[in-house]
Structure 1
């Protein structure tokens, strides 16, 4: 293979225009500053030429300013016109304070600056209450007062609640007169509280009526259980009083000691002849000086058992003075107590201290409650 004798050469650098081409005027563009570096910077490529900047249009002339108008004359103030405040004139700024030396006090607040004349501020309006809780409380307490006042045995509680409601209602009305709302509610609460007081009065009478009816029912139940004479059915009825007491000895006239009195139901009672009592112990002998002993005997002549409750005679001397019962340990008194069966008898011994020289005594005794007391009289045996 053979090499051609004259190979084509490669152009180096930018292309050049042909000879005779007119050159265009361009603005020179300064090259950007290259950073400092130790490395070799490659050559920048060729930059195409920038087109020429268009020419700036001509600046329009500004219109002429109109001439200043003449100042209008200031009108003369009227004698009746209100005074007007003139705006403050600006003053020259205060010079800055000189730097204080070491240890010299500086001005902490600066120099005073002129201000506008002082004006009186209007007073703050008082806040109107947004609610009236007393009115609501009066309505509630008034209603509870009416409810409690009509209930028996709780009328006193209704009275207290209603009295509180009256106070709350009056307070609510007073607050409403000062600007608070719910005045009508306060009036309603006061009226309800007054009605609660009246209902408490009615509740008192209602309680009295309930108590009266309860007593009547209890009395009726007792009458049904115990009978009209107050005795349980099956127990011997109370002895009837004699239709003519003047004809019965022992009731209007005294009987002799030792005699027996018989009641219409068959119960019998008797007192023995009084006899001088001798104390059984030395200690009792020092206290008992002139005592008489009486023996009480009760016989059940009825058909049902008889319960002895209290059978103690009342003894008086011949001057009508009541004798005191004597107590001798282990001996007297021996009282009758307990139930006596039909046909049986029970006895007891009692001693009574009398004044010295007493020769006769009187006594009366009853075999139990509900019986007439039988009278005895006679000398000491």
Structure 2
């Protein structure tokens, strides 16, 4: 199916080139992008300092709103999950997590996912396609519309806006690095969203060459790595990516990232009973973390579709955390949000009328 390219995907230079091609002044690009990303307009008609003729040209060539809200669910803890339909009829999910004046958005970067991690429901969908940069940006803008329309206020008394972006929804972000890079650059642009690099986190299952490319591109973001196990046997059993890039190769890429960026890396670590939440796993995690500038974000396994995987008991979790902290490794346990609406880590998968898609 053919569909229009999303105008939000275009860089400033690409938009200027298009304007020249249609006999318009290139300086209009800055005006247009301010309407798109600062004013976050919902129709071309709102661009009042752009001529009707140019607005008509844009409407013929580019879509302005490529995502349509299909469903919205609100958790008892305030987490909100959206099901969006793309222009070509696919579905993605986006999650907003409010906490202490911050509004973090977990964005999807692909329709489905090809990584097939055992603990993730998105894996059951398979992979369909990458999202355009404009579609990813629209996930964020749609959340801003929701905050504005529902009267959310920031600490200064103004209209609340998204404060943090987590590229951890559906899909493997580094397998869509071109568009993820575009999104991060747009968000970081001082004239547009003006979002600090430390407010954006790109999470990967461990696509080693793309970690290096992320550094080469100087993408403005932080890096999180889904480690989820401490040895190749267990990691390969739950994360097939490890068969291509085993832990040793992954840690080499992490070391290079730390050396070249001077940033911390966050290891995401799903606690699974008898696999990753054991005394042996704690010792192996300490061995991996001790010589590196890393932090560990532990996550108790959320309900998924693999009956062989179980969450550890609260006592097992506490013993694991105590062992790691005793070695002076920085580890935090993530408070699960949105479980009741299947919005927690590993739970995103389009499900409607009893069928997953």
Higher strand share: 2
Higher normalized contact order (CA 8 Å, seq sep 6+, divided by chain length): 2
Q: What TM-score does the superposition give when structure 2 sets the normalisation length?
A: 0.16
Q: TM-score when scaled to structure 1? A: 0.15
**Larger helix share, 1 or 2:** 2
Q: Which has the larger radius of gyration?
A: 1
